[in-house]
């Protein structure tokens, strides 16, 4: 769901589990804290994919070990490839990541990205909507309250990666939906729709999560809770919902995108040839959507009437 409809080589191994086990999500995703041995492990073990049930919804989860020094998260735009829009498959083929997810909100009519994106300490897109997740050069997460403040007013020099989006789903493990305070005024954002989100856990994990069926924001927040997330942010969803995990498109968008978030290998680390080949050979049309209903585009934030906010949530 846009709010007008929200690197490059990669690595790692990803464990693909084809079933949908109805197991308690925290037991699957929240393990023991990373040890020094884990931190020294090859980046090939840093990324894992699972499909499972959480809070009654089938979800797709890419888990990234932030303690592994060989992986990084990158914001990437169609503009970086010389175009305004790209298909999700084109992003994957061009950048060859280990995993990728929908990025932040954009105006599909113009391709304008309306939230902050930061890469290598540089603000590449600027907005004032939503709060922010930033990672430094050692993947230390920092959750920032940035809604209502344009990104140009922040110092991003210590942020290797940052994305602003929303609304915020969790803070400290508790649901804290307050879209109006974050600048979201679009009723289309609050109806049932497929979802994409990003989260961190208290044990050094980053989660990239999609739900292909239509769910409310409150249900999506419950999903993040069930997965063991401590802090979580909603990303662009609806027809923009997209997730790729090592050769497999597990959530496929219904429109072209302007930006994505990539899990990649850090410069200087070896890039497994099979990972590159998987990205090049993956069939983006292989996915049969779990719910084929397209909930359609949503209006821009300025057009939102929040008088029925409690009903939407």
Tokens of 136: 């430094």
Q: Residue 308 carries which DSSP code? A: G
Instruction: Identify the CA nearest to 261 among candidates 5, 1, 6, 84.
Output: 6
The gap from C-alpha 226 to its chain's centroid, in whole angstroms, comes to 17
Continuous H helices in 146-305: 217-226, 273-281
So what's the pLDDT on residue 282? 80
DSSP secondary structure letter of residue 33: P
If the chain, 313 residues long, is cut into consecutive pieces of 10 residues, what is the mean pLDDT of each piece?
Answer: 38 35 39 44 78 96 94 96 95 94 94 96 95 97 95 94 97 93 85 96 97 96 97 97 93 96 87 72 62 33 32 31
Q: What is the per-residue pLDDT for 277?
A: 72
This prediction has a pTM of 0.80
Say if residues 84 and 258 touch (Cβ distance below 8 Å): yes
Nearest to 29 by CA among 206, 161, 239, 244: 206
């Amino acid at each position: 769901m846009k709010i007008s409809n929200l690197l490059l080589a990669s690595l790692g191994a990803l464990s693909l589990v084809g079933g949908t086990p109805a197991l308690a999500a925290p037991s699957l995703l929240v393990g023991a804290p990373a040890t020094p041995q884990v931190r020294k492990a090859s980046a090939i073990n840093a990324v894992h994919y699972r499909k499972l049930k959480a809070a009654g919804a089938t979800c797709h989860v890419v888990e990234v070990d932030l303690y592994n020094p060989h992986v990084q998260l990158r914001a990437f735009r169609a503009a970086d490839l010389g175009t305004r829009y790209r298909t999700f498959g084109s992003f994957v083929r061009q950048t060859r990541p280990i995993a990728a997810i929908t990025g932040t909100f954009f105006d599909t009519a113009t391709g304008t990205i309306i939230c902050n994106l930061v890469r290598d300490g540089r603000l590449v897109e600027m907005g004032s909507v939503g709060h922010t997740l930033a990672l430094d050069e050692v993947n230390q997460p920092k959750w920032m309250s940035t809604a209502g403040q344009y990104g140009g007013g922040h110092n991003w020099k210590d942020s290797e990666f940052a994305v602003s989006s929303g609304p915020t789903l969790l803070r400290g493990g508790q649901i804290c939906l307050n879209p109006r305070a974050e600048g979201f005024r679009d009723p289309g954002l609050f109806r049932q729709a497929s979802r994409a989100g990003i989260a961190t856990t208290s044990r050094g994990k980053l989660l990239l999560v999609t739900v292909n069926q239509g769910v409310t924001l409150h249900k999506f927040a419950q999903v993040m809770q069930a997965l063991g997330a401590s802090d979580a942010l909603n990303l662009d969803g609806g027809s923009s919902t997209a997730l790729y995990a090592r050769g497999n498109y597990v959530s496929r968008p219904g429109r072209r995108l302007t930006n994505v978030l990539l899990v990649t290998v850090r410069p200087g680390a070896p890039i497994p040839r099979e990972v590159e080949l998987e990205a090049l050979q993956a069939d983006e049309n292989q996915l049969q959507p779990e719910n084929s209903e397209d909930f359609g585009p949503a209006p821009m934030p300025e057009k939102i009437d929040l008088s029925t906010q409690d009903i939407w949530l």
